[in-house]
Amino acid sequence: MESMHDLVVIGAGAAGLGAAQYAARANLEVLVLEEMAHGGQALLIDRLENYPGLPEPVDGYTWSETMRSQAETFGAAFSSTSVNSVKKSGEHFEISTTDGPLLAKAVILATGAKHRHAGVKGEEEFGGRGVSYCATCDGPFFKGKAMVVIGGGDAACDEAMYLAKIASEVTMIHRKDRFRAQKALADRVLSNPKIKVIWDTVAEEIRGEKSVQGITIRNLKTNELSNLDCSAVFVFVGSIPQTGAMPAELQLDETGYIVANDRMETSIPGLYAVGDVRTTPFRQVITAVADGAVAAHCAAQYIDELEGHAYQ
């Protein structure tokens, strides 16, 4: 029979790393499962400048490495594997992974969300050939060339700022007449001379032969079509919560995010949800880490109750 872990954290983004650190520091035996690189979407941040206690901006990779190192110092273990399913069996959880089954007294879901596609003609065809969802990953391939960003939230504005450093010009296309991004970030975009914003507009088609050569756009007020020449199109139009391996009975909201209370508890006792995968009014690195800390604390209390060690 496989060994029983106190706590398994699924996902090593900001929320998972925060949970791992606080749970290990609470003397729980913690295993963190991550199928890709630890850090999650934080890895895409060029300059993390609004995290308290960091007066000088750092890149997402450096921040993620520090978080993982801290968690390991406190005793958390990390494993590179994919999770196939999670189900509750009696008072414990059974977790199926590509490396075999695991058992846990409690589980924290920090699986995050993946980039949503725009659904534009040519988007799939030119994926990896000029269409991208990660500016820091692919932007340098198009250094000195014209680039287009689709979207108007925090991610779109943050990535446009990064691309403006390396592109000849950046054009942002947004379906509304104002950004939904935080005001400070939006103001920096609007004041950047290398970024042009086209409001009330959507993408109709991404064009090219072997790679992206341009994009056709449509004004939502006039229905007028126009063409822009560009070498790359970066899409930032929201995210899809990653809940595919979760129990079927887990409560989700109407958009597919996990419903969790202020203790990060889900509809299944002992199962917690943190970060971008849960319902929350604000998705930032700092709130994800805080989610993880709260979940770790509450999971420790839950395990104490299971074992009859709850503080009276």
Q: Which of 38-42, 179-183, 259-263 has the lowest mean pLDDT?
A: 38-42
pLDDT value for 245: 93
Residue for token pair 């990064």 = 162
- Known catalytic residues are 134, 137-138
Q: What's the confidence (pLDDT) of residue 310?
A: 61
Whether 292 contacts 15, CB under 8 Å: yes
The model's pTM is: 0.79
CA-CA distance, 279 to 140, in Å (whole number)? Answer: 34
In this structure, which amino acid lies at residue 65? E
| C-alpha–C-alpha distance, residues 127 and 19, integer Å | 34
Domains and CATH numbers, the chain: 4-114+239-306 (3.50.50.60), 117-235 (3.50.50.60)
Give residue for tokens 């990953």.
137
Judge whether 233 and 146 are in contact, CB under 8 Å.
no
CA distance 148 to 94: 45
Q: Minimum mean pLDDT among 39-53, 59-73, 221-235: which range?
A: 39-53
Compare 50 and 44 and report the one with higher pLDDT: 50
Average pLDDT over residues 155-168: 94
Average pLDDT of span 9-22: 98
For residue 201, give both structure tokens: 């507009």
Average pLDDT on 23-37 reads 96
DSSP assigned state of 94: E
Residue 32, SS3 per DSSP? strand
- At residue 7 the predicted structure's pLDDT band, cuts being 50, 70 and 90, is very high
